[in-house]
Amino acid sequence: MPVKAIKDYPLRVADSVDKFHGNIMLFVGWDQHLMFCAPFAWALPPAMRFGDLIEGIFPASFGAHPDFALIDWSKVEWLKSGKPWAPDVNKSLAENGLGHKDCLRFRTPGLCGIKGSGS
């Protein structure tokens, strides 16, 4: 439903892709690892290789979790907007079909957080 207003109500998107200097925002959460209280947000170049996200960005963000070192990345299950999804690590974010403000989740079978608590 449109906003009820006394005059024209222009569309002012505060985080449209043109405001990110060529980057796109990407959100990634690690299921069952709520020690990280929320999914993470990054602004990344769409030409970045997906594998570089895992190898170059994830360790600084997820690495504090004791499960992180145990992840077998070939067995990780990915979800995009809640639906199963398979990335190609050697292709770029854009080639993997990732756009501005896409939201990914990954699950690591067998790794269920601190003492299996989902933390």
* Biggest CA pair distance of the chain: 58
Q: How far apart are the first and last CA of the chain?
A: 39
Taking the complex as a whole, the smallest distance from the CB of residue 101 to another protein amounts, in Å, to: 4
**Among 48, 74, 100, 109, interactor with another protein by CB under 8 A:** 100
Nearer to another protein, 74 or 116 (CB): 116
Q: Is 14 in the site for another protein (CB under 8 A)?
A: yes
Q: Which residues pair with 105 in a beta bridge?
A: 29, 79
Q: Is 1 in the site for another protein (CB under 8 A)?
A: yes
DSSP structural state of residue 60: H
Q: Is 4 in the site for another protein (CB under 8 A)?
A: yes
